[in-house]
Amino acid sequence: MNKPKVIVTRQWPCEVEAQLKQLYDVQLNESDVPLSTDALKHALQTADAVLTTVTDIITADVLNAPNKRAKIIGQFGVGYNNIDIQAAKGQGLTVTNTPHVLTDCTADIAMLLLLMSARRASEGERLILNQQWTGWTPTQLLGQKVTGKTLGLIGFGRIAQAMAKKAHHGFDMKILFYVPSTPDQHIVDDLQATRCDSVEDLLAHSDFVSLHCPAGVTTKHLINEARLKLMRPTAHLINTARGDVVDSDALIHALKTGEIAGAGLDVYEGEPQLNPEFLTLNNIALLPHLGSATEETRTAMGNRVLVNIAAFFAGHEPNDKVV
Ligand code: 8YV
């Protein structure tokens, strides 16, 4: 029997690519240049499985390409807001993602940004890199203490809970959370966490606010001008979820005017383009979407895609089926 044809849109960890080569008639992307819209359509027309990432914008137009051969899109990532899921469903395509394996690393990045923002790490590093540091002073770059403070989590899924665990058990932080669903009471009890009735309530009572909700119509600009005004002037906003969840213009204004003390961002509206005003701010820590970027996790994500497509080709429902 012929091996299924698989197209991988970006370069993946070599260990995973080696397995793909063994198992499938695979087309890898050695140049790592993202595929154009036409190339994505062509991939769906010529392969049995197309393996995508956050940088592939799979719109209804792409998914409606005629004469498709593909039956499955294996997304390398837990988030899949780059794919029009309803259109994929309408086309009878299966879509899978890679939950669980990136939980800890993404929570680590959120904690890193929290610490960087609180302790003004980016500002300090710039001082050294620009050769402007003239020595220790008693009042230089005073930030805010993290231990014992209150962390408010918007969204309370796996990544938020992993961050809460590190923050509560490691930094003695008090945990607040807002989520529309009902989380496991054992987890809430272990974290001695308090549920807030509204986003507004959480914002008003947190020293650090970390975003962990999926991107979508209901969460677009969830953090807007009015909500930023509810945050404490000493508070910091951390975003490792998706850029669209925050209105960047409103955030820039809040950081400039001292409505909030700082922000730590790993994701951006329209990334990799950044609102140029972000670059003019001192009270911000900026990372280039590094949430899951460890060797272990990226390899585990690739392996998770392999398990999903293997199940699909064997006629089973993949564990991580989104639609
Ligand atoms: C991924 C992420 O690396 O999994 C996610 O949702 O945000 C990232 O950590 C990226 O999305 C790859 O597709």
Nearest CA to ligand 1 atom 2: 77
Confidence of residue 112 (pLDDT cuts 50, 70, 90): very high
**How far apart are the CA of 54 and the centre of ligand 1, in A?**
6
- Is 100 part of the annotated catalytic residue set? no
Q: Per residue in 18-56, pLDDT tens?
A: 999 999 999 999 999 999 999 999 999 999 999 999 999
Q: What percent of the chain has pLDDT over 90?
A: 100
Output the pLDDT for position 204. Answer: 98
pTM higher than 0.95: yes
- Using the predicted structure, report yes or no on whether residue 104 has a pLDDT greater than 80: yes
Answer yes or no: are the C-beta atoms of 109 and 266 closer than 8 Å. Answer: yes
Phi and psi at residue 191, to the nearest 5°: -95, 0
Q: Which two tokens stand for residue 102?
A: 């990136």
- Ligand 1 test: best mutation among 112, 292, 320, most atoms within 8 Å of CB? 292
**How far apart are the CA of 172 and the centre of ligand 1, in A?**
29
- Helices and strands in the chain: count of H runs, count of E runs: 13, 12
- Is 289 part of the annotated catalytic residue set? yes
Domains in the chain: ranges and CATH: 5-101+295-313 (3.40.50.720), 103-286 (3.40.50.720)
**How far apart are the CA of 1 and the centre of ligand 1, in A?**
34
Output the pLDDT for position 166. Answer: 98
For the chain, the average pLDDT equals 98
- Using the predicted structure, report yes or no on whether residue 279 has a pLDDT greater than 90: yes
Answer yes or no: are the C-beta atoms of 135 and 302 closer than 8 Å. Answer: no
Give the residues surrounding ligand 1 with Cβ less than 6 Å away.
Answer: 53-54, 76-79, 102, 106, 291-292
3-class secondary structure, 76: coil
Give the Cα separation of 8 and 35 in Å (integer): 10
- Ligand 1 test: best mutation among 54, 104, 112, most atoms within 8 Å of CB? 54
Average pLDDT over residues 272-282: 97
Output the pLDDT for position 48. Answer: 98
Answer yes or no: are the C-beta atoms of 47 and 7 closer than 8 Å. Answer: yes
Output the pLDDT for position 250. Answer: 98
What torsion, rounded to 10 degrees, do the Cα atoms 262, 265, 100, 52 define? 170
Answer yes or no: are the C-beta atoms of 134 and 127 closer than 8 Å. Answer: no
Output the pLDDT for position 113. Answer: 99
- Give me the residues paired with residue 73 across strands: 50, 95
Output the pLDDT for position 294. Answer: 98
Angle in degrees, CA 117, 198, 255, rounded to 5: 30
Average pLDDT over residues 57-74: 98
- Using the predicted structure, report yes or no on whether residue 1 has a pLDDT greater than 90: no
Q: Exposed, middle or buried by CB within 10 Å (0-12, 13-18, 19+), for 45?
A: middle
Out of 242, 259, 269, 298, pick the active-site residue. 242
| Other beta carbons within 10 Å of 170 | 11
- Is 205 part of the annotated catalytic residue set? no
Output the pLDDT for position 177. Answer: 98
Q: Per residue in 150-199, pLDDT tens?
A: 999 999 999 999 999 999 999 999 999 999 999 999 999 999 999 999 99
Average pLDDT over residues 99-128: 98
Edge to edge, the sheet with strand 5-8 lists: 25-27, 5-8, 49-52, 72-75, 94-96
